Amino acid sequence: MIFDGDPRVAWSHGEQTMLGYGGGDHIDPGIGPDRYLRAAEALRASGKDLAFASFTFDPDEEGSVVVVPDEVVTIPARGIPAGSPVSLQPDVVLDGIEEWRRGFDRAMSALESGRVEKVVLARRMELELASPPHLPSLAEKLRLTGLSSYTFLVEGLVGCSPELLVSLRSGRLSSLALAGTAAEAGGLGSNKMEREHRLTVESVREGLEGHLRLFDEEQRETLVFGTIHHLGTRIGGLTGPGAAVTDVLSTLHPTAAVAGTPRAEALGLIREIEPRSRGRYAGPVGWFRPTGEGEFAIALRCGVIEGDRAILYAGGGIVKGSDPDEELEETEMKLVPMLSALGG
């Protein structure tokens, strides 16, 4: 049975799009490291075969959501059903620049004192739209501009992320450590970029190692998403029996790509510096099955849409030697996909 109307949730990557229809179950998995386990238990209890989920960035923060649709439709080589494109004429209510600059200064003090080796700061932008957007259409517009990315729509969170957090299929685990961002490939060769990327690779490797019985040879590459260039390293291998993607999430997230290093100290610093919660921005977003298989990206290049209001986010890694103007420009680049999709 295929439901009429708009999909409630959506996930698209490559030539496959998954759409969830119907009321289904809406589950709050709670907070803490066991929230992923509770999500897996809720799906098994539902008797359904697949759930979509979007977790908060901070494990101690409420607001994560698991959606178990009545029906999931998989469409090969097609996009998300969309209506006519509409310009939403966004007005900027808050650009987030002053708050971000104050946070940068505090982050540099923490770096100089040795409290952290890297911290990732998020910038929050608030917009007022001419009318509430049709979310599937917004997701499809993002998908078409980022075909190599992971497009998602889960309970008002919509975006198109370049960063695979973890995929587990047929006993094979994979992740993409993505850190180091520039407008041109030549801008990725600095010591700062190399250091930032190395820290992310180390954190991903550490988060995966307890779940793998055999590591693949790591693959380093330069990746392009839209007009943005990234340093990326693919990490993965073979899992043991009974592996579950939700178990991997509990040790892997947040990586140094979205929090910093050391993890606990960086998380504490983010809680002190950022004046508002990140919510589900930079948290795991994706789908999973009762078998343990699933796929999650990090919720980047995204926003939360509530009626005619949109809250957008963009972040970047700060290390010793980071320049505030260059880092702010990086957030501008990362806001472009959502601003363009909204008609800005």
Does residue 53 contact residue 286 with C-beta atoms inside 8 Å?
yes
Q: Which of 48, 99, 118, 196 is catalytic?
A: 118
* Length of the chain (residues): 344
**DSSP designation for 164:** E
CA distances to 100, 115, 169, 278, 279 from 108, rounded to whole Å, are: 12, 10, 41, 20, 24
118 is catalytic: yes
Q: Which of 99, 140, 155, 163 is catalytic?
A: 163
CA distance 173 to 176: 11
φ, ψ for residue 93, nearest 5 deg = -90, -40
How remote is the C-alpha of 89 from its chain's centroid? Answer: 25
Phi-psi region of 207 (alpha: psi -120 to 50; beta: other; left: phi over 0): alpha
163 is catalytic: yes
CA distances to 17, 133, 300 from 20, rounded to whole Å, are: 10, 19, 21
CA distance 210 to 296: 18
Closest Cα to residue 282, out of 93, 133, 96, 59? 59
What is the amino acid identity at position 177? A
CA distance 88 to 79: 21
The tokens for 182 are: 């520039």
- Residues with catalytic annotation? 118, 163
